[in-house]
Chains A and B, each alone.
Chain A
Amino acid sequence: KQEVTQIPAALSVPEGENLVLNCSFTDSAIYNLQWFRQDPGKGLTSLLLIQSSQREQTSGRLNASLDKSSGRSTLYIAASQPGDSATYLCAVTAYSGAGSYQLTFGKGTKLSVIP
């Protein structure tokens, strides 16, 4: 059974700092990996999607990397801003048998960027 782990569970950084969020998964046979952002009381917003054949994706100040063989992904946020404060979730899509695919989530890293 696929398990997704995100460390740390919470992170606090001063504004302007570059930071890295980590995600690991137990089964490397994935189709893709997504990073989401969740603000308090809100739904999830997709930030980046990396297909299994890709090594990284970039969007603005965000860069996500994928090392499928080692079961790891990182989300790099450059020049952090208070508006980046949110919970960041990592999720992998993998085949779960009998024609079924599952998107399995980590429990997230709660990021606080201090002005």
Chain B
Amino acid sequence: DAGVIQSPRHEVTEMGQEVTLRCKPISGHDYLFWYRQTMMRGLELLIYFNNNVPIDDSGMPEDRFSAKMPNASFSTLKIQPSEPRDSAVYFCASSFRTSSEAFFGQGTRLTVV
């Protein structure tokens, strides 16, 4: 397996634009996580899915953020409209079970200007 795959690797967008980040988890993993990493706050959990169902979205900062998982092999994180304070590295991770090792993608570095 190629691991967790995220796209794009880098995204630069203007304030107010819609941004969509994509993730393909490892095949067979039932859990998918979206994290945001900043220098100030470190890694923060935004939302996670179990068997394509959102379980905990309490970390999603605002209504501007939304996430979907239409099937077991694909998830998106959307920001609409984007703001400069959304600039961060966004990571997707997957695991087989809650108690299993989590595998991370390479991340998407988002810059909102």
Contacts and interface: CB of A to CB of B under 8 A. Distances in A.
A45 B102 CA distance: 9
Contacts of A104: 45
B102 A106 contact: no
Q: Secondary structure at chain B's binding surface: helix, strand, loop or mixed?
A: strand
B80 interface: no
Interface residues of B, number: 22
Contact of B107 (A34, A43, A45, A107): A43
B25 interface: no
Contact of B42 (A32, A34, A43, A106): A106
Contacts of B98: 31, 93, 101
Interface string B89-102: 00101000011111
Interface residues of A, number: 27
B55 interface: yes
A93 B99 contact: yes
A99 B53 CA distance: 12
- Residue from A43, A45, A46, A100 having most chain B Cβ neighbours under 10 A: A43
A42 interface: yes
Interface string A38-63: 00011111100101000000000000
Contacts of A102: 45, 56
A89 interface: yes
Contacts of A96: 56
Interface in A62-115: 89, 91, 93, 96, 98-108
Interface of B: 4, 33, 42-43, 45, 48, 55-56, 58, 91, 93, 98-107, 109
